[in-house]
Structure 1
């Protein structure tokens, strides 16, 4: 009997040593990214720890369905394993299974109410489900638990920036920048808030800093170009647009924006060149191009040419009331036919009855004056 007991102990020791050896091999394979072989070794070991590592290995190689199945097994066997649940929830978010992810993170927030990460990810699940109010509340809970929770601060700041709620956006942006002064995402949002608020001069150094921090994106140069132009820094505006055109010389908006810089400098011939380039590279925006050419011609007191371009713009876009209004007022400035002038204004009121009150009132006033002129001309 004594010998049998000793033999059993020896067999158990050998089994444990074999499992330990297999686990060491599996961990080593996992650590160097040899996930397929690691899965095979973990399968030999068995147990929840190995099952979790198998889930992670499947996740690492992109076999998400098998990873989810393994994670679910671990969680079902041990519903107190918060790490496994967190990893499962994040993976469910990744594969767009938002309702399931929400369920996982709801369980986690119920189980551990003081964990800001769990609150944040529940917010993410709600955001993906378009449950805006719920997601905002979760982000705010995360911040109450940890005032430095950067991702929650960013999501709140981003939401209020998009909604153009300036003060709320700045609250979370500035709170985040107090802790993370070089966070490029928050600096970018700060610049956008100021840009949207027409504070172009204050936005400029922030957009410039975004570029210095490595966010070398087209939209930054686009915003900077507008800011420089509005701040009368024409040389810098041209430099920003030159970078954009070097990257993409088929973007009509860049040519239009560059034309507006030259127009502001009163270099009208150069402005016309870039407007025509904009029209050449993107045919569908003829109405915009013709309108801008008309504005330049009118600025040069060439009302006949301006009228011709406004008329061409109207033919391209008959829904734009402003184009037709400009066509009427421009003809009024040079035309000799009083009845034709009257007809343009009357057609404006008939075809665009819900336009800006200023246009409507001006047209009505001019109709009254023209009718008087026509009446006296007949006497």
Structure 2
């Protein structure tokens, strides 16, 4: 009788194992073609699941987007440090779910066993970079505040990842971004070139390098690396604007226009881009295009509009359309009454627009009086020009008065 029961048990066990193997094989096939829900259903049929099955369930749930279920299964799969693969994926998903403290614990446990694995340090750095820093200091202690601003423990993990693998692109990328924020441009460039030795087309690294040159004012180098991004197909409004500004600084106005027109393809109603194009077209004396973009800048811009009005007034001034020049310079001064450039432009426009010389003379005198006692008045070219024109107007009016008396 005992032999009979043993045979029955072995037959049932064999059938159960066959069912498990079948469910596992079908589940793997469904997972491979992206049918995650049915794959999960097959994995769930497996009796007495091993850690490897829980890992498959976790991956299927993660691919499907049911992340809480994925976390639960990863936790079952990662029952010991021997299951390093499951723990690694579990920790990464914890970061995705913004469970940073738990992720830190997972990767710290992995590092305690696998202390030469660079990616575990990188992942722990990611977890800790996003954790809130609960540091309370007195606002008056500015020295301590500056020191704490540069104290970032997670940076040490990124450094350790690079120390273990000098080609770890993600860790190098995080470090370059960190040093860019700290304005340590020399470190940015050192690390960026280190990364590019092993991966010359890493667009994240190239972008950080280009920004480093941009912010330190190295225009030629900035242009070179932003242009490199375009060559690699990284065409964005940010890149176009930065590149356009670099060409603007070098007074390569046609090149700058090309870049800002490219920026408009991403945001056709961007008032800043339109206003910049209006200025650039003024420089190239394409006054029709300057007028168009100046009007569009005003159309799309919220308050304040002072600069946009001023740029448009300059366009009309160059076109010798004195009526519209006066209209928009007045609007500029309504927005910003202390805009010195606009004040002087108004006087110049009035000089050409008004027939009454005495009214124009009064405007020059008021402008000179307002600014002649300024700290840098003796170096101010607008004051010099205003005085020269004032003196000439005085002579013209004097001569005219003399002719009338005769």
Change (3 A) 1:5 1:327: closer
Partner of 1:21: 22
Tell me if 1:185 matches 2:204: yes
d(CA) in 1 for partners of 2:254, 2:327 = 32
d(CA) in 1 for partners of 2:283, 2:262 = 20
What TM-score comes out, normalization by structure 1 length?
A: 0.78
Tell me if 1:220 matches 2:246: no
**What's the CA shift string for 1:331-356, capped at 9, x where partnerless?**
8997537984587459xx9xxxxxxx
- CA drift of 1:245 comes to 3.1
- CA drift of 1:324 comes to 3.8
d(CA) in 1 for partners of 2:293, 2:247 = 18
- CA drift of 1:151 comes to 0.4
Match of 1:113 among 109, 112, 115: 115
* Contact 2:278–2:312 (8 Å) recurs in 1: no
**What's the CA shift string for 1:129-187, capped at 9, x where partnerless?**
25571221111110001000000111111222233321111111111111111112222
Aligned-pair RMSD on alpha carbons? 3.6
Structure richer in helix, relative to its length: 1
Change (3 A) 1:299 1:157: farther
**What's the CA shift string for 1:270-328, capped at 9, x where partnerless?**
5354323311222424111133346668999999998986664343246xxxx444466
* Contact 1:122–1:138 (8 Å) recurs in 2: yes
Q: Secondary structure of the residue that 1:284 maps to in structure 2?
A: coil
Tell me if 1:248 matches 2:274: no
Q: Secondary structure of the residue that 2:362 maps to in structure 1?
A: coil
Partner of 1:103: 105
Unaligned runs of at least 5 residues, structure 1? 350-358, 371-379
d(CA) in 2 for partners of 1:6, 1:57 = 37
d(CA) in 1 for partners of 2:363, 2:249 = 39
Partner of 1:336: 362
* Contact 1:226–1:257 (8 Å) recurs in 2: no
What TM-score comes out, normalization by structure 2 length?
A: 0.74
State how many pairs are aligned.
351
Unaligned runs of at least 5 residues, structure 2? 134-150, 349-359, 388-406
Partner of 2:51: 48
Q: Secondary structure of the residue that 2:201 maps to in structure 1?
A: coil
* Contact 2:332–2:342 (8 Å) recurs in 1: no
Matches within 5 A, 1:74-223: 74-75=77-78, 77-130=79-132, 133-223=152-242
d(CA) in 1 for partners of 2:189, 2:318 = 40
Partner of 2:143: none
d(CA) in 1 for partners of 2:74, 2:363 = 82
